[in-house]
């Protein structure tokens, strides 16, 4: 499918062989258009969503490997 407004371009069809590359380009364009606040919000939502699928044991292991201090509570 050609762009009638720009005869120097052709449309790339979405199919099994182009899908991965198009997804990558689309994701890159979305991220490049975000400001830092929007990017941080998206990162927090994505990480939170991913972590909710962890079992308690998986979550504890993940936290121990990276931010173990979050599993500690100060004794008064």
pLDDT per residue of the chain (76 residues) written in tens, 0 to 9: 455 677 788 899 999 999 999 999 999 999 999 999 999 999 999 999 999 999 999 999 999 999 999 999 888 8
**Residue extents of the structural domains in the chain:** 19-71
pLDDT at residue 6 in the model:
72
pLDDT at residue 37 in the model:
97
Angstrom distance (rounded) from CA 30 to CA 23: 11
pLDDT at residue 71 in the model:
94
Angstrom distance (rounded) from CA 49 to CA 62: 15
Judge whether 70 and 62 are in contact, CB under 8 Å: no
41 three-state secondary structure: helix
């Amino acid at each position: 499918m050609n762009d009638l407004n720009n005869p120097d371009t052709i449309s790339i069809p979405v199919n099994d062989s182009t899908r991965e590359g198009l997804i990558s380009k689309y994701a890159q364009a979305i991220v490049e258009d975000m400001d830092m606040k929007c990017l941080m919000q998206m990162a927090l939502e994505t990480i939170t969503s991913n972590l909710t699928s962890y079992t308690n044991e998986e979550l504890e292991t993940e936290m121990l490997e990276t931010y173990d201090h979050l599993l500690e509570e100060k004794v008064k």
